[in-house]
């Protein structure tokens, strides 16, 4: 299936990256195509993707109409069954990802993102990780794609990510497969192929192991390449030490030392509780004076906020400036 791209980058909610879901490669491309249609600030996906037997790589030759229809029905059921499982300390919520509709006469499936996932997409402006569509489309397996996004989430503020084997199996939905209880199988079938698949991307990594006795308990993904905007934390740290979690609002920004930029960073972090990913995005794409002027405008002429927070207001204004 050839993806129809509408944007060059795709935004992934960090909560989605950390969640549990599973797709085959065609389903992943459908998902990426739908995400590429999304424009931040737009609340509803009006477009659907029409999928034929050829798009879905289902056999057509020498098959009857009823056989083709049967395959399409099974595919429709499969798309409808794919779920994203979001869990916190207090809640567990499975969400359907796709809403497919089969047109029997046209022998095509029309697919949209489900309303549940659309609602999740709508909050991505507050807590998200961006990735290049072309890069994602070149990744040949779903597990390698998942690993790419798990690492990409940390790229702008750390040089590595540590994941326990139990957490990694859960996030890759391998916990119910006994063969992957053996680390050697996980390493040879999942981690080494991912290392090969990602070596030409911006998330090329080296793999290190953390052991307890002789048993491997966690793996360290050490990033070989860094975002050009990132300068080593130890050499130019302005604020508090690097946190343990990627979404902390008190993360340090290892970038520019001029006072104007430092003030813009402080405003975003302390006044609006921006995440590190948000701070990196706006510092890289806008002049710091744009950020401080918007903040001053908010302070002197506060807008009437009925359905949004000050943080959401500033995000919307900054996104408008980027456009």
- Is residue 1 a part of any domain in this protein? no
Query: Among 59, 93, 121, which residue terminates a domain?
Result: 121
Q: Which residue, 121, 152, 167, sits at the end of a domain?
A: 121
Q: What is the CATH number of the domain that holds 108?
A: 1.10.10
Q: Is the dihedral of CA 281, 198, 234, 18 positive or negative?
A: positive
**Mean pLDDT, to the nearest integer, of 66-78?**
91
- Do 300 and 212 share a structural domain? no
Determine the pLDDT at residue 219.
96
For the stretch 197-216, pLDDT in tens is: 999 999 999 999 999 999 99
User: Is the pLDDT reported for residue 7 higher than 70?
Assistant: no
CA within 13 Å, CB half, 237: 13
Does the pTM of the predicted model rise above 0.75? no
Q: Is residue 211 in some structural domain?
A: yes
Mean pLDDT (whole number) for 227-237: 37
Helix and strand numbers, DSSP H then E, in the chain: 13, 10
Average pLDDT over residues 270-294: 85
- What mean pLDDT is predicted for residues 42-70? 76
Give the per-residue pLDDT at 172.
92
């Amino acid at each position: 299936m050839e993806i129809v791209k509408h944007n060059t980058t795709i935004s992934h909610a960090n909560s989605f990256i950390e969640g549990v879901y599973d797709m085959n490669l065609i389903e992943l491309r459908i998902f990426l195509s739908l995400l590429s249609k999304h424009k931040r600030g737009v609340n509803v996906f009006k477009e659907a993707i029409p999928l034929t037997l050829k798009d879905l790589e289902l056999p057509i030759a020498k098959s009857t109409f009823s056989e083709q229809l049967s395959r399409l029905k099974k595919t429709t059921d499969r798309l409808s069954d794919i779920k994203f499982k979001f869990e916190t300390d207090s809640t567990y919520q499975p969400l359907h990802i796709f809403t497919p509709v089969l047109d029997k006469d046209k022998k095509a499936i029309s697919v949209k993102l489900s309303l549940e996932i659309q609602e999740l997409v709508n909050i991505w402006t507050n807590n998200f990780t961006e990735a290049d569509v072309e890069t994602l489309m070149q990744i040949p397996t779903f597990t390698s794609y998942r690993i790419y996004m798990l690492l990409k989430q940390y790229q702008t503020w750390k040089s590595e990510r540590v994941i326990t084997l139990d957490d990694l199996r859960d996030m890759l939905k391998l916990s119910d497969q006994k063969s992957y209880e053996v680390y050697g199988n996980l390493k040879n079938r999942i981690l080494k192929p991912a290392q090969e698949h990602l070596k030409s991307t911006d998330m090329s990594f080296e793999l290190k192991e953390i052991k307890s006795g002789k048993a491997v308990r966690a793996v360290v993904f050490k990033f070989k390449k860094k975002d050009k905007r990132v300068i080593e934390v130890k050499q130019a740290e302005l604020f508090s030490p690097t946190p343990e979690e990627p979404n902390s609002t008190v993360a340090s920004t290892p970038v520019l030392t001029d006072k104007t930029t430092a003030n813009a960073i402080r405003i975003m972090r302390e006044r609006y509780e921006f995440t590190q990913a948000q701070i990196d995005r706006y510092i890289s794409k806008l002049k710091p004076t744009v950020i401080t002027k918007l903040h001053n405008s908010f302070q002197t002429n506060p807008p009437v906020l009925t359905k949004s927070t000050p943080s959401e207001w500033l995000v919307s204004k900054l996104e408008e400036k980027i456009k």
